[in-house]
Structure 1
Amino acid sequence: MSKIKWTNKDFKVFTIDGLEQRMDALNIQVRPKFNQLGEQFATYFSSQLGEEFFPHVAKHARRTVNPPKDSWVAFAPYKRGYKSLPHFQIGLWHTHLFIVLAIIYEAPQKNVMAERLLAYKSLLEQLPNDFIVSGDHMSPEAISLEEAKEEDNLEALLIRLRDVKKGEFLIGRHIPKEQATKLTASELHQLTEETFESLLPIYNIIVGK
């Protein structure tokens, strides 16, 4: 079981001024935790989904000016990358922890994936009400699944994923910093695994299993 616990110091990394200073803090403070979670949950996904999954810890290598506002470890069944595939993520913004399943704009088959999700929208609507949905992986903002169901934003997000080149779809949990830092390592592990367990059937729909 993971011994990872998030602290206020982890979240404060994303408030440090300067690219070099923030990257140094990120590499020392946060990335080792993502590496550990990567090893652990890659094994989890490989076991649960019947194919080998690989962890991808964000490197932020292309940045030359702006420091990263968030960071993460992603999981996908491809060793060389994850952005073109539906993938799972554990990550941090300065305000919250996120545990999500994502389809981002680089995915070449996202229109097909969106059609599959639209066909099984009722399964999405049965996920826990504290889940969130988002249409932009570059933004910390999201809406609750409960709100998305009430206002039919869920279908709108899926249609945008299908029809708009920049359309994206993320679903999972956002845990506010204040709550995340109070969780023990055991509680955090349990919450993360419970979130992914709820998302596994959705992943199987996306990939056509």
Structure 2
Amino acid sequence: MVFERQDFDVFNAKSLDERMAKIRTIIDPKFVELSDKLLAILNHNDQSWFAHVAKHLRRTTNAPDNTWVALAPNKRGYKMLPHYEIGLWEDHVYFYLAVEENMKPSQTADIVSRLRKASDLIAILPKQFVLSTDHMVNRNELLTPTNYDQAVTRFEQVKHSEVLIGIVIDKQKYQDDAYDDEQVILTAFEQLHDIYKVLAH
């Protein structure tokens, strides 16, 4: 198990400085640990992948409501590419294959075409997969073909919209010390990687 029940308590810290200190010392090392295992898989192919741990540098007063690490085949950044994201909210861990708004407008037509091309693979994902349209909002819905098609259309038409598909692990799961969140995330990664290949190539 990578994360633990008490990890979610970092969000109880009210001030920016206190919460960031807890994120840096408690959560970020776990992001690095899990990222290293995924990078070992991803770097077996021709691309070199890199982990980007969220720094929240633009924040000056409000403490972040979530935090994450992104994995992308670019050392300088990830938002302009399809990428993987592991994150933590106060009530769950998530693992997403993410297409974010930073790909627009220069890549809109191309990435929307690829998102639609991936529809058949999306349709056969297990029923526990979910869909989000904003990685900064704690909200997701079931990943159904209809919901996915609507999200892709919205991504094409609405500037501040995203398409993120993956899994969430409720913090209640972490009451069981034997729960293997690492294996759950690695399995989800394997199930999503063929979709990533459609989006990226």
Q: With structure 1 as the length reference, what TM-score do the two structures score?
A: 0.89
Kindly indicate whether residue 90 of structure 2 is the aligned counterpart of residue 97 of structure 1.
Answer: no
Equivalent residue, structure 2, for 1:41: 38
Equivalent residue, structure 2, for 1:190: 183
The count of aligned residue pairs is 199
How many angstroms apart in 2 are the aligned matches of 1:180 and 1:107? 35
Distance 1:161 1:180, change over 3 A: farther
Q: Secondary structure at the match of 2:172?
A: helix
Contact 1:5 / 1:184 at 8 angstroms: preserved in 2?
Answer: no
For 1:188, give the aligned amino acid: D
Which of 137, 141, 165 aligns to 1:171? It is 165
Kindly indicate whether residue 192 of structure 2 is the aligned counterpart of residue 206 of structure 1.
Answer: no
Deviations 1:143-199 (A, max 9, x none): 011xx33xx2211101111222222100000110011453647x2221111100011
Distance 1:40 1:138, change over 3 A: same
Q: How far off its partner does 1:106 sit?
A: 0.7
**% same residue:** 35
For 1:35, give the aligned amino acid: V
How many angstroms apart in 2 are the aligned matches of 1:119 and 1:51? 22
Moved over 3 A (4+): none
Q: With structure 2 as the length reference, what TM-score do the two structures score?
A: 0.92
Equivalent residue, structure 1, for 2:28: 31
Contact 1:96 / 1:180 at 8 angstroms: preserved in 2?
Answer: no
Q: Which runs of 5+ in 2 are unaligned?
A: none
Contact 2:34 / 2:182 at 8 angstroms: preserved in 1?
Answer: no
Which of 13, 18, 28 aligns to 1:16? It is 13
